[in-house]
Amino acid sequence: MDDLVHGRIEWQANTIEDQVILKSDGFPTYHLAVVVDDHVMGITHIMRGEEWIASIPKHLLIYRAFGWEVPPMAHFPDVLGPDGKKLSKRHGSTAVSQFRDDGYLPEALINYLALIGWSPGTEEEIFSMDDLIRLWKIEQVQRAGGKWDKERLDFFNGVWIRRLFVDELVRRLRPFVPAEWDEGILRKVTPLIQERMKTLKDAKDQIAFLFTDELRYDPAQLIPKKYDGRTTIEALAKVIVVLRYADPFTAERIESAIEGVAQDIGWTVRELTIAVRVAVTGTKVGPPLYQSIELLGKEKVIERLERAQELLEGAHD
Protein backbone atom coordinates (compact mmCIF):
# COMPACT_ATOMS: atom_id res chain seq x y z
CA MET A 1 0.00 0.00 0.00
CA ASP A 2 1.01 3.64 -0.42
CA ASP A 3 1.01 5.22 3.03
CA LEU A 4 0.52 9.00 3.01
CA VAL A 5 3.42 9.48 5.43
CA HIS A 6 5.76 6.52 4.88
CA GLY A 7 5.26 6.03 1.16
CA ARG A 8 5.03 2.58 -0.45
CA ILE A 9 5.09 -0.33 2.00
CA GLU A 10 5.20 -3.99 0.97
CA TRP A 11 4.97 -7.26 2.94
CA GLN A 12 5.81 -10.87 2.20
CA ALA A 13 2.55 -12.79 2.33
CA ASN A 14 4.19 -15.67 4.21
CA THR A 15 4.95 -13.35 7.15
CA ILE A 16 1.25 -12.84 7.92
CA GLU A 17 0.07 -15.33 10.57
CA ASP A 18 -3.29 -17.07 10.31
CA GLN A 19 -4.98 -14.99 12.97
CA VAL A 20 -8.40 -15.55 14.53
CA ILE A 21 -10.74 -12.75 13.45
CA LEU A 22 -14.03 -14.24 14.67
CA LYS A 23 -14.19 -16.14 17.95
CA SER A 24 -16.13 -19.37 18.35
CA ASP A 25 -18.86 -17.49 20.24
CA GLY A 26 -19.33 -15.18 17.25
CA PHE A 27 -17.59 -12.22 18.84
CA PRO A 28 -15.26 -10.41 16.39
CA THR A 29 -11.66 -9.61 17.31
CA TYR A 30 -10.28 -6.11 16.89
CA HIS A 31 -8.94 -6.58 13.36
CA LEU A 32 -12.31 -7.58 11.91
CA ALA A 33 -14.25 -5.08 14.00
CA VAL A 34 -12.10 -2.06 13.09
CA VAL A 35 -12.36 -2.71 9.35
CA VAL A 36 -16.13 -3.22 9.43
CA ASP A 37 -16.58 -0.23 11.74
CA ASP A 38 -14.57 2.11 9.51
CA HIS A 39 -16.45 0.97 6.43
CA VAL A 40 -19.91 1.27 7.96
CA MET A 41 -19.12 4.74 9.34
CA GLY A 42 -17.88 5.90 5.94
CA ILE A 43 -14.40 6.79 7.16
CA THR A 44 -12.66 8.57 4.28
CA HIS A 45 -9.09 8.56 5.64
CA ILE A 46 -7.50 6.29 8.24
CA MET A 47 -4.95 8.20 10.30
CA ARG A 48 -3.31 6.56 13.30
CA GLY A 49 -0.02 5.87 15.03
CA GLU A 50 2.80 4.09 13.26
CA GLU A 51 2.61 1.13 15.68
CA TRP A 52 -0.39 -0.01 13.60
CA ILE A 53 1.70 -0.43 10.44
CA ALA A 54 2.22 -4.10 11.34
CA SER A 55 -1.56 -4.64 11.24
CA ILE A 56 -2.07 -3.18 7.77
CA PRO A 57 -1.65 -6.48 5.82
CA LYS A 58 -4.36 -8.17 7.89
CA HIS A 59 -6.71 -5.26 7.34
CA LEU A 60 -5.98 -5.16 3.61
CA LEU A 61 -6.89 -8.84 3.31
CA ILE A 62 -10.18 -8.24 5.14
CA TYR A 63 -11.01 -5.29 2.87
CA ARG A 64 -10.33 -7.51 -0.15
CA ALA A 65 -12.44 -10.33 1.27
CA PHE A 66 -15.43 -7.99 1.51
CA GLY A 67 -14.68 -6.36 -1.83
CA TRP A 68 -14.48 -2.93 -0.22
CA GLU A 69 -12.33 -0.02 -1.34
CA VAL A 70 -9.44 0.68 1.04
CA PRO A 71 -9.44 4.29 2.32
CA PRO A 72 -6.17 6.23 2.12
CA MET A 73 -4.03 5.49 5.17
CA ALA A 74 -1.52 7.59 7.09
CA HIS A 75 0.56 6.29 9.99
CA PHE A 76 2.04 9.08 12.06
CA PRO A 77 5.29 8.93 14.03
CA ASP A 78 5.07 8.45 17.77
CA VAL A 79 5.46 11.27 20.26
CA LEU A 80 8.67 10.48 22.13
CA GLY A 81 9.75 11.11 25.69
CA PRO A 82 13.02 12.88 26.59
CA ASP A 83 14.78 9.50 26.46
CA GLY A 84 13.78 9.00 22.82
CA LYS A 85 11.31 6.22 23.63
CA LYS A 86 7.59 6.32 22.97
CA LEU A 87 5.81 8.64 25.37
CA SER A 88 4.20 6.69 28.18
CA LYS A 89 3.00 7.05 31.76
CA ARG A 90 6.54 6.82 33.07
CA HIS A 91 7.25 10.12 31.27
CA GLY A 92 4.25 11.75 32.92
CA SER A 93 1.93 11.52 29.93
CA THR A 94 -1.67 11.94 30.95
CA ALA A 95 -5.27 12.28 29.83
CA VAL A 96 -6.36 15.32 27.84
CA SER A 97 -8.68 16.21 30.73
CA GLN A 98 -5.65 16.47 33.01
CA PHE A 99 -4.12 19.15 30.80
CA ARG A 100 -7.36 21.11 31.11
CA ASP A 101 -7.32 20.68 34.89
CA ASP A 102 -3.68 21.82 34.95
CA GLY A 103 -4.63 25.08 33.29
CA TYR A 104 -3.63 24.54 29.68
CA LEU A 105 -5.72 26.19 26.96
CA PRO A 106 -7.15 24.06 24.13
CA GLU A 107 -5.65 26.52 21.65
CA ALA A 108 -2.17 26.03 23.09
CA LEU A 109 -2.33 22.24 23.28
CA ILE A 110 -3.57 21.99 19.68
CA ASN A 111 -0.90 24.44 18.50
CA TYR A 112 1.86 22.51 20.27
CA LEU A 113 0.71 19.05 19.19
CA ALA A 114 0.41 20.16 15.57
CA LEU A 115 4.12 21.00 15.52
CA ILE A 116 5.22 17.59 16.82
CA GLY A 117 6.13 15.80 13.61
CA TRP A 118 4.86 18.54 11.27
CA SER A 119 6.57 21.63 9.96
CA PRO A 120 4.92 24.46 8.01
CA GLY A 121 8.17 25.14 6.16
CA THR A 122 8.52 28.59 7.75
CA GLU A 123 9.77 30.03 11.05
CA GLU A 124 6.20 30.72 12.17
CA GLU A 125 5.04 28.75 15.23
CA ILE A 126 1.77 30.24 16.48
CA PHE A 127 -1.23 28.74 14.70
CA SER A 128 -4.93 28.86 15.46
CA MET A 129 -7.19 26.00 14.47
CA ASP A 130 -8.28 28.03 11.43
CA ASP A 131 -4.62 28.54 10.50
CA LEU A 132 -3.93 24.82 10.76
CA ILE A 133 -6.98 23.94 8.66
CA ARG A 134 -5.68 26.30 6.00
CA LEU A 135 -1.96 25.46 6.15
CA TRP A 136 -1.60 21.86 7.30
CA LYS A 137 -0.51 19.44 4.59
CA ILE A 138 0.07 15.76 5.14
CA GLU A 139 3.04 15.89 2.79
CA GLN A 140 4.85 17.98 5.45
CA VAL A 141 4.46 15.36 8.17
CA GLN A 142 7.86 13.97 9.12
CA ARG A 143 8.56 10.27 9.48
CA ALA A 144 10.73 10.69 12.58
CA GLY A 145 9.02 11.00 15.94
CA GLY A 146 9.04 14.35 17.74
CA LYS A 147 9.97 14.70 21.42
CA TRP A 148 7.57 15.85 24.09
CA ASP A 149 8.80 19.09 25.69
CA LYS A 150 6.77 20.48 28.60
CA GLU A 151 8.70 23.75 28.64
CA ARG A 152 7.73 24.31 25.03
CA LEU A 153 4.10 23.56 25.81
CA ASP A 154 4.29 26.09 28.65
CA PHE A 155 5.65 28.64 26.17
CA PHE A 156 2.72 28.13 23.80
CA ASN A 157 0.27 28.27 26.68
CA GLY A 158 1.71 31.60 27.81
CA VAL A 159 1.42 32.98 24.28
CA TRP A 160 -2.24 31.98 24.02
CA ILE A 161 -3.05 33.31 27.50
CA ARG A 162 -1.68 36.69 26.44
CA ARG A 163 -3.80 36.60 23.29
CA LEU A 164 -7.06 36.36 25.22
CA PHE A 165 -9.21 39.41 25.87
CA VAL A 166 -9.34 40.16 29.59
CA ASP A 167 -13.03 39.28 29.97
CA GLU A 168 -12.42 35.91 28.30
CA LEU A 169 -9.36 35.25 30.45
CA VAL A 170 -11.36 36.04 33.60
CA ARG A 171 -14.02 33.57 32.45
CA ARG A 172 -11.41 30.85 31.96
CA LEU A 173 -9.73 31.63 35.28
CA ARG A 174 -12.93 31.20 37.29
CA PRO A 175 -12.64 27.38 37.71
CA PHE A 176 -9.12 27.85 39.09
CA VAL A 177 -9.86 30.35 41.86
CA PRO A 178 -12.25 30.18 44.85
CA ALA A 179 -15.84 30.99 43.96
CA GLU A 180 -16.08 33.57 46.75
CA TRP A 181 -13.30 35.75 45.32
CA ASP A 182 -14.70 39.14 44.30
CA GLU A 183 -15.36 39.33 40.56
CA GLY A 184 -14.54 43.05 40.37
CA ILE A 185 -11.10 42.66 41.94
CA LEU A 186 -10.40 39.59 39.82
CA ARG A 187 -11.28 41.59 36.71
CA LYS A 188 -8.92 44.40 37.73
CA VAL A 189 -5.94 42.21 38.64
CA THR A 190 -6.13 39.86 35.65
CA PRO A 191 -4.38 42.27 33.22
CA LEU A 192 -1.56 42.62 35.77
CA ILE A 193 -0.77 38.89 35.74
CA GLN A 194 -1.63 38.05 32.13
CA GLU A 195 1.99 38.54 31.01
CA ARG A 196 3.32 36.42 33.88
CA MET A 197 1.21 33.28 33.59
CA LYS A 198 2.27 30.01 32.03
CA THR A 199 -0.92 28.17 33.00
CA LEU A 200 -4.29 29.22 34.37
CA LYS A 201 -3.41 27.52 37.66
CA ASP A 202 -0.62 30.05 38.18
CA ALA A 203 -3.12 32.82 38.85
CA LYS A 204 -4.36 31.69 42.25
CA ASP A 205 -1.03 31.87 44.07
CA GLN A 206 -0.06 35.13 42.35
CA ILE A 207 -3.15 37.05 43.45
CA ALA A 208 -4.28 35.30 46.64
CA PHE A 209 -2.95 38.21 48.75
CA LEU A 210 -5.78 40.38 47.39
CA PHE A 211 -8.48 38.11 48.77
CA THR A 212 -7.20 37.24 52.24
CA ASP A 213 -6.46 39.08 55.47
CA GLU A 214 -3.94 36.52 56.68
CA LEU A 215 -0.47 36.60 55.18
CA ARG A 216 2.14 34.10 56.31
CA TYR A 217 5.80 34.70 55.66
CA ASP A 218 9.16 34.62 57.39
CA PRO A 219 9.92 38.11 58.80
CA ALA A 220 13.49 37.65 57.59
CA GLN A 221 12.17 38.01 54.04
CA LEU A 222 11.31 41.63 54.80
CA ILE A 223 14.95 42.59 55.32
CA PRO A 224 16.94 43.48 52.18
CA LYS A 225 20.60 42.50 51.96
CA LYS A 226 23.02 44.96 53.63
CA TYR A 227 20.36 46.00 56.18
CA ASP A 228 18.96 44.72 59.46
CA GLY A 229 15.59 44.46 61.17
CA ARG A 230 15.82 47.83 62.91
CA THR A 231 16.62 49.83 59.76
CA THR A 232 13.87 47.98 57.90
CA ILE A 233 11.35 48.90 60.60
CA GLU A 234 12.35 52.54 60.23
CA ALA A 235 12.10 52.36 56.44
CA LEU A 236 8.61 50.85 56.62
CA ALA A 237 7.59 53.59 59.07
CA LYS A 238 8.48 56.25 56.51
CA VAL A 239 6.56 54.35 53.81
CA ILE A 240 3.50 54.22 56.06
CA VAL A 241 3.62 58.00 56.53
CA VAL A 242 3.85 58.86 52.84
CA LEU A 243 1.18 56.33 51.84
CA ARG A 244 -1.19 57.55 54.54
CA TYR A 245 -1.13 60.97 52.94
CA ALA A 246 -0.98 59.79 49.33
CA ASP A 247 -3.96 61.31 47.56
CA PRO A 248 -5.22 60.14 45.17
CA PHE A 249 -4.19 56.58 46.11
CA THR A 250 -3.15 55.59 42.61
CA ALA A 251 -0.27 53.48 41.31
CA GLU A 252 1.46 56.58 39.96
CA ARG A 253 1.20 58.48 43.25
CA ILE A 254 2.27 55.38 45.22
CA GLU A 255 5.32 54.88 43.01
CA SER A 256 6.37 58.50 43.43
CA ALA A 257 5.94 58.30 47.21
CA ILE A 258 7.96 55.10 47.63
CA GLU A 259 10.74 56.33 45.34
CA GLY A 260 10.88 59.50 47.45
CA VAL A 261 11.33 57.46 50.62
CA ALA A 262 14.09 55.37 49.02
CA GLN A 263 15.96 58.52 48.02
CA ASP A 264 15.45 60.04 51.47
CA ILE A 265 16.86 57.04 53.39
CA GLY A 266 19.61 56.21 50.92
CA TRP A 267 18.20 52.87 49.77
CA THR A 268 17.72 51.77 46.21
CA VAL A 269 14.11 51.57 45.08
CA ARG A 270 14.56 47.82 44.62
CA GLU A 271 15.74 47.37 48.21
CA LEU A 272 12.78 49.25 49.58
CA THR A 273 10.21 47.56 47.35
CA ILE A 274 11.45 44.14 48.46
CA ALA A 275 10.43 44.98 52.02
CA VAL A 276 7.18 46.61 50.95
CA ARG A 277 6.20 43.76 48.62
CA VAL A 278 6.71 41.07 51.24
CA ALA A 279 4.80 43.14 53.78
CA VAL A 280 1.74 43.71 51.59
CA THR A 281 1.69 40.49 49.49
CA GLY A 282 3.54 37.92 51.61
CA THR A 283 5.90 36.99 48.76
CA LYS A 284 8.91 38.41 46.92
CA VAL A 285 7.36 37.95 43.48
CA GLY A 286 3.96 38.75 42.06
CA PRO A 287 2.00 41.29 40.01
CA PRO A 288 3.35 44.84 39.60
CA LEU A 289 3.71 46.22 43.12
CA TYR A 290 2.29 49.73 42.79
CA GLN A 291 -0.85 48.55 41.01
CA SER A 292 -1.24 45.80 43.62
CA ILE A 293 -1.05 48.37 46.42
CA GLU A 294 -3.70 50.47 44.69
CA LEU A 295 -6.02 47.45 44.39
CA LEU A 296 -5.54 46.53 48.05
CA GLY A 297 -6.51 50.00 49.16
CA LYS A 298 -4.88 52.38 51.61
CA GLU A 299 -6.36 50.91 54.79
CA LYS A 300 -5.28 47.32 54.13
CA VAL A 301 -1.84 48.33 52.92
CA ILE A 302 -1.09 50.39 56.02
CA GLU A 303 -2.40 47.58 58.25
CA ARG A 304 -0.05 45.12 56.56
CA LEU A 305 2.93 47.44 56.77
CA GLU A 306 2.28 47.95 60.47
CA ARG A 307 1.93 44.19 60.93
CA ALA A 308 5.31 43.73 59.23
CA GLN A 309 6.84 46.18 61.69
CA GLU A 310 5.39 44.18 64.59
CA LEU A 311 6.83 40.95 63.22
CA LEU A 312 10.25 42.54 62.88
CA GLU A 313 10.02 43.99 66.38
CA GLY A 314 9.23 40.52 67.72
CA ALA A 315 12.10 38.97 65.79
CA HIS A 316 14.43 41.77 66.89
CA ASP A 317 13.50 41.29 70.55
Q: Which residue from 203, 110, 116 is spatially nearest to 160, judged by alpha carbons?
A: 110
Give the contacts of 268 (CB within 8 A, at least 6 positions apart): 262
Taking alpha carbons only, the member of 226, 223, 245, 252 closest to residue 313 is 223
89 has catalytic annotation: yes
Angular region, 224: left φ>0, alpha ψ -120 to 50, beta rest: beta
Closest of 270, 235, 239, 273 to residue 257, by C-alpha: 239
Question: What string of DSSP letters covers the chain?
Answer: -EETTTEE----GGGS-----B-TTS-B-HHHHHHHHHHHHT-S-EEEEGGGGGGHHHHHHHHHHHTPPPPPEEEEPPEE-TTSSBP-GGGT---HHHHHHTT--HHHHHHHHHTSSB--SSS-----HHHHHHH--GGGB-SSPEEP-HHHHHHHHHHHHHHS-HHHHHHHHGGGS-TTS-HHHHHHHHHHHGGG-SSTTHHHHHHGGGG-S-----GGGGS-TT--HHHHHHHHHHHHHHHHT-SS--HHHHHHHHHHHHHHHT--HHHHHHHHHHHHHSSSS-S-HHHHHHHH-HHHHHHHHHHHHHHHHHHH-
Which member of 23, 86, 89, 225 is catalytic? 89
Question: What residues are annotated to the active site?
Answer: 89
